[in-house]
Amino acid sequence: MESISRLSFKDIEWINIQRKSSDEMSFLKKGFNFSENDIEECLKETIHPAIFVRADYAYFEMLFPIYNRKTQLLENGEINFFIKNNILITVHNNKLFQISDFFNSLENDEFLRSKFFQGNPVILLCGIFDYLLNSYFPMLNHMEEDVVDLEKTIFAGQEKFNTKNILKLRWNIVNFKRTIESHKNIIEHLISDGEHLFSVSRLKIYYNVLIDKLDDISKILDNQKESISALEQTNNSLVSFQLNDVMKVLAIMSVIMMPATFISQLFGMNSKIPFNSESGTTFFIVLLICAFSMAIFILYFKKKKWF
């Protein structure tokens, strides 16, 4: 099948399955003694990463961030892993191009194959993790550029537009952070529960390198989160300030119009009051009284410097 690629070197094999369908699952059922529940899990959409260590193999599913340029939001790409004897199997929907890139690099470079295809598939697995983690930094740089652009526009009178961008950036950071934490949990479970399947001592060496890289990514995300929180507070203050200005203007206008409204209603009553006659001058007299009362309030507000 075109969706299944195989690469062997020094008795270690990597099987990369780039599509999830019944045909690929049948391949797993016929060729390997995997639990049907684990194979069925490959077809389901993973919400929470999980790991299952069986008697002769380990199965785990992980989520990796993907930046959607159209929505400007981070989405999750899923990869399912099987480790058995000297075989590593990756199952995915080819959303993460980094997997195919790494596979092609190993296929075309014997030096890289000799580096990662040795001992057992755990070293190859760590190489895949490391390659995927390196792909995070361009995404982090792009998110940092979004934060800088937001800082430049925060005082440009685009508060409503900025609010939407802030929510997007906050969601990206939270989603990214959650993904990073799940990576640590999976690696820790592999070390604690997979001792009967592979050399844990070798995994620990690579584990420390991966954890250091994950910690660096986590620190960058924490800094971005603090920046977004500060920008959000600033933007909310500007929105509140503008809202207060609008409410102030509306209040002043209603107070200015209040005496004019009262006077017009007073002279509109069907009772005998001064100037209330059918004479054409009555309208202009009432109009002058209204304008005079409004002018008094306007002068008063200006003297108080309320506007």
Cα distance between the two ends of the chain: 75
Question: How high is the pLDDT of residue 283?
Answer: 67
Counted domains in the chain: 2
Mean pLDDT value across residues 41-52: 84
Shared domain for 264 and 234, answered yes or no, is: no
Asked if residue 66 and residue 168 are part of one domain, the reply reads yes
CA distance 198 to 88: 12
Domain termination residue (choose one: 240, 270, 294) = 240
Name 91's Cβ contacts closer than 8 Å, sequence gap at least 6.
Answer: 17, 20, 24, 28, 42, 79, 80, 81, 82
Stated length of the chain: 307
pLDDT, tens digit (0-9, with 9 covering 90-100), for 205-239: 777 788 888 889 999 999 998 988 888 888 877 77
Query: Considering the chain, what is the average pLDDT of its residues?
Result: 82
Higher pLDDT, 232 or 108: 108
Give the pLDDT of residue 199.
66
Quote the CA–CA distance of 46 and 38 in Å, as a whole number. Answer: 12
Of 2-6, 181-185, 246-250, where does mean pLDDT reach its minimum? Answer: 246-250
Predicted TM-score of the model (pTM): 0.75
Amino acid 46: pLDDT? 81
Q: Percent of the chain at pLDDT above 70?
A: 86
Angstrom distance (rounded) from CA 220 to CA 180: 12
Q: In sequence order, what DSSP letters do the residues of 206-243 get, joined into one string?
A: HHHHHHHHHHHHHHHHHHHHHHHHHHHHHHHHHHHHHH
Residues 106 and 199 in one domain: yes
Parent domain of 253: 244-303
